[in-house]
Amino acid sequence: MSQSVVCQAPIPSFEMTDEQIINLFLASYRDRSEYTIRNYRFAIERFRQFIYPKRLGDVQWTDIEDYKNALLTGRFTSEGRKLSSASAAVHLASIRSLYKWASDPNIGLLPHNPTTPIRLPRIHISDRNRYLTMNELEKLLAALKSQSNRNHLLGLMLALTGLRVSELVRLQWNDFQEAVMGSSIWLIVRRGKGGKSRDVKVPDILWEIILKYRNDQRLNPGEPSDNRVFPISVRQVDRILVKARKSCSLTKKATPHWFRHTSATLALLHGASLQQVQQSLGHTDITTTQRYLHTVEQIKKSAPDYVADSLKGFLESVEKK
């Protein structure tokens, strides 16, 4: 009679500390951006503060559920600050990834995965409200132009290409490549979200502005030696946009990600296919891109417009009386 073989996780020759486990986990994500790794570490360390003095291997699913509720209700912070469902989901996703990796039978650094029964908070799609109108975008770009040519180009890059801000600040001059036939310029986005690379076409008018900016940079000997197009940090970009928003009295928050939403919305509104926008933005799943259709459908002609058109003659005649 054959005997069943039970596969057990390998037992490390010595017990690792939580810090060593976390460092190994983050090292496995070395193909991801520094921004992603930093966010992972922050979320994991925040969770460790919550479960202290427990260690990662002692955590049960009830601890994870309690932590989720603490994030959503503000119970974890002294000031009682609540996280949105989306922010809480990001924190929990980092912890879930850690436990999934460390409890894998081929790794066996943690005895089990307590995140398995946990449901992430339901995220309400609000992208439909996070875009700039053409008038608002023009006002914001004009305000950036009044600051400097660099800041103006920065805003144009975000609006026309839909880059993530983390991708923008990593962008290097040699990431621009000419197409085989020499008819267009493409931008190679290296190590985007999820460590994936993609190609984004650079519109001709944007390429002309980029070349002019680069020539101006070469004529300025005071500029630091840095191969990046924008040798600044993500936080500096945020501050630049806040200043521009205030100077043009724009009430919308208008973060760098708003430019990305605006880029996708305008592209779909003017005829781009979902697949084209998905490729340009670097969405792994096309359902993420489909969220922008909500905004496009709002902007396009709606049911009341068709009713108004059918009654146009009547309404005009009434108004003339």
Report which of 239, 275, 273, 233 is spatially closest to residue 254, judged by C-alpha positions.
239
- Residue 175 is given by DSSP the state G
Residues in the chain: 321
CB-based contacts of 314: which residues, under 8 Å, 6+ apart? none
Task: Give the model's confidence band at 221: pLDDT under 50 very low, under 70 low, under 90 confident, else very high.
Answer: low
Q: How is residue 28 written in tokens?
A: 């496995």
Question: CA distances (Å), 24 to each of 17, 101, 130, 202, 212, in order?
Answer: 11, 10, 37, 38, 45
Task: Give the model's confidence band at 308: pLDDT under 50 very low, under 70 low, under 90 confident, else very high.
Answer: low
Least confident of 22-26, 35-39, 52-56: 35-39
Report which of 228, 209, 87, 199 is spatially closest to residue 144, judged by C-alpha positions.
209
Q: How far apart are CA 297 and CA 128, in angstroms?
A: 10
DSSP secondary structure letters along 68-115 = HHHHHHT-SSTT-PPPPHHHHHHHHHHHHHHHHHHTSTTT-SSS--TT
Asked if residue 305 has pLDDT above 70, the reply is no
* CATH 1.10.150.130-classified regions of the chain: 18-102
CB-based contacts of 173: which residues, under 8 Å, 6+ apart? 214, 227, 228, 229
Report which of 47, 28, 33 is spatially closest to residue 94, judged by C-alpha positions.
47
Provide the 3-class DSSP secondary structure of residue 312: helix
Provide the 3-class DSSP secondary structure of residue 117: coil
Amino acid at 171: L
Tell me the per-residue pLDDT of 93-145, one tens digit each, with 9 for 90 and over: 889 999 999 999 999 999 999 999 988 887 555 545 577 888 899 999 999 99
- For the segment 64-85, the average pLDDT, to the nearest whole number, is 86
Q: How far apart are CA 56 and CA 45, in angstroms?
A: 11
pLDDT at 311: 63
Cβ distance 191 to 31 under 8 Å? yes
Q: How is residue 35 written in tokens?
A: 């921004």
pLDDT at 304: 67
If one counts every other C-beta atom within 10 angstroms of the C-beta of residue 7, the result is: 7
CATH tag, 18-102: 1.10.150.130
Q: How far apart are CA 21 and CA 28, in angstroms?
A: 11
Q: How far apart are CA 102 and CA 36, in angstroms?
A: 19
If one counts every other C-beta atom within 10 angstroms of the C-beta of residue 160, the result is: 19
CATH top-level class for 128-299? mainly alpha
Tell me the per-residue pLDDT of 176-220, one tens digit each, with 9 for 90 and over: 998 767 678 998 888 777 677 888 999 999 999 999 999 888 766
Torsional class of 292: left (φ above 0), alpha (ψ -120 to 50), beta (otherwise): alpha
Report which of 25, 5, 15 is spatially closest to residue 58, judged by C-alpha positions.
15
* CATH 1.10.443.10-classified regions of the chain: 128-299
- For the segment 3-32, the average pLDDT, to the nearest whole number, is 72
HSE on the CB side for 24, CA within 13 Å?
14
HSE on the CB side for 174, CA within 13 Å?
2
Q: How far apart are CA 156 and CA 294, in angstroms?
A: 24
Q: What is the mean pLDDT of the chain?
A: 83
Q: The whole model's pTM is what?
A: 0.60
